[in-house]
Chains A and B, each alone.
Chain A
Amino acid sequence: MNWQQWFDMGGYGAYVWSSYALTAIILLWNLITPIFRRREVLRKIQNWYRQEDRLS
């Protein structure tokens, strides 16, 4: 089997590769959102501490 045949997937290439591409996007999304969320939460926590200190 050569590369060309492999990408062609017996004529179903568009269906197969779009499914795998979407899977990759979903898996990456699930990885990236918690990383950004973590940054945001750490920033929020530090702001919260600053406010607490000002009030006390």
Chain B
Amino acid sequence: MWAFLHKLASPKHFYRITGRWIPWLWVITLLFMVPGLYLGLWVAPPDYQQGDSFRIMYVHVPAAWMSLFIYVFMAVTGGIGLIWNMKMADIMAASSAPIGASFTFLALVTGAIWGKPMWGTWWVWDARLTSELILLFLYLGYIALQAAIEEPRTAARAAAILAIVGSVNIPIIHYSVEWWNTLHQGPTVTRMDKPAIHPSMLWPLLLMAAAFQVYFFTVLLMRARTELLWRERRARWVREMFGNSTRTPFSNTEKVVT
């Protein structure tokens, strides 16, 4: 296990190994998403209070969960890069930011679309919604900070500190529905006792959450591999694979490798 992780920390092996994973990760994403959509949009019965509008949950809740998960992932990989000076950790943290921002945006907008028919308003400045909006700004700040600093190591260090400091917002988002009075409903799945949701409605949610999770790692690896090529352009193996200069005249045949 450790030997394998150690191998993954090497850019060259990371590039080779993850290249083989990506098609399979797409298959797994679809294996979760297709039944999730079928059960969620077709099989699950309408909610007795919310009617069919509750089906927005199957994209809203996984997106919101991912917005938190990706932020923690970004802070942890950023921290690893900060402490152990690991290039792959830096790349992972930087690559996850735009994906996390997009999921946060999705959670906010689908929440507004769901809020309109249920609460009668697109938006309220309550604890859950406001802290999730702050999360979006943290992601955008992180991306802007990365982009503002030319030297990759310095950029990674500064951004990692921002990510770690900003992670104080994560428990605030999670517990906001318990700590403050809010329009947003409380947790139904992650309760200590039995989830307050019928299995026919719960299954599609779990499938969609799993699909979003695998999807995240798939597009993350796609981004990370490209970012890695650019940062490792001085390395011999990158040049052998993608350089078509006079020094490596036969490397063009290698370009089919994706």
Residues of chain A touching chain B, judged by Cβ–Cβ distance below 8 Å, are: 1, 6, 9-13, 15-16, 18-20, 22-23, 26-27, 29-31, 33-35, 37-38, 41-42, 44-46, 48-50, 52-53
Complex-state Cα separation, A48 to B105, whole angstroms: 36
CB distance from A15 to the nearest CB of B (A): 5
Complex-state Cα separation, A23 to B58, whole angstroms: 10
Complex-state Cα separation, A35 to B98, whole angstroms: 14
Contact A9 B53 (CB under 8 A): yes
Complex-state Cα separation, A13 to B165, whole angstroms: 41
Contact B247 A30 (CB under 8 A): no
CB distance from B17 to the nearest CB of A (A): 17
Complex-state Cα separation, A24 to B230, whole angstroms: 29
Complex-state Cα separation, A19 to B109, whole angstroms: 8
Complex-state Cα separation, A9 to B60, whole angstroms: 17
B126 within 8 A of A: no
| Count of A-B contacts judged by CB separation below 8 Å | 99
Write the B238-249 contact mask toward A (1 if CB under 8 angstroms, else 0).
110011111100
Task: For chain B, residues 213 to 249, give those with C-beta under 8 angstroms from any C-beta of chain A.
Answer: 215, 219, 222-223, 225-227, 229-230, 233, 238-239, 242-247
Interface of A is mostly: helix
List 17 additional contacts besides A19-B56, A20-B59; criterion CB under 8 Å: A9-B52, A9-B53, A10-B46, A10-B51, A19-B110, A22-B110, A27-B215, A30-B215, A33-B98, A34-B223, A35-B222, A38-B225, A41-B226, A42-B242, A45-B233, A46-B242, A48-B233
Complex-state Cα separation, A1 to B52, whole angstroms: 13
CB distance from A6 to the nearest CB of B (A): 7
Complex-state Cα separation, A46 to B106, whole angstroms: 36
Contact B105 A26 (CB under 8 A): yes
Q: Which residues of A contact B246 (CB under 8 A)?
A: 53
Can you offer 11 A-B residue contacts whose CB atoms are under 8 A?
A12-B117, A15-B117, A19-B114, A23-B63, A26-B102, A30-B219, A35-B222, A42-B229, A45-B238, A45-B243, A49-B244
Q: How large is the interface on B (under 10, 10 to 19, 20 to 34, 35 or more residues)?
A: 35 or more
Known: A30-B99, A45-B230. A16 touches B55 (CB 8 A): yes
Name the residue among A1, A11, A15, A37 with the largest chain B CB count within 10 angstroms: A15
Write the B88-104 contact mask toward A (1 if CB under 8 angstroms, else 0).
00000000001100110
Q: Which residues of B contact A34 (CB under 8 A)?
A: 219, 222-223, 226
Known: A27-B215, A31-B219. A12 touches B233 (CB 8 A): no
B2 within 8 A of A: no
Contact A6 B59 (CB under 8 A): no
B113 within 8 A of A: yes
Task: For chain B, residues 38 to 66, give those with C-beta under 8 angstroms from any C-beta of chain A.
Answer: 41-42, 46, 51-53, 55-56, 59-60, 63
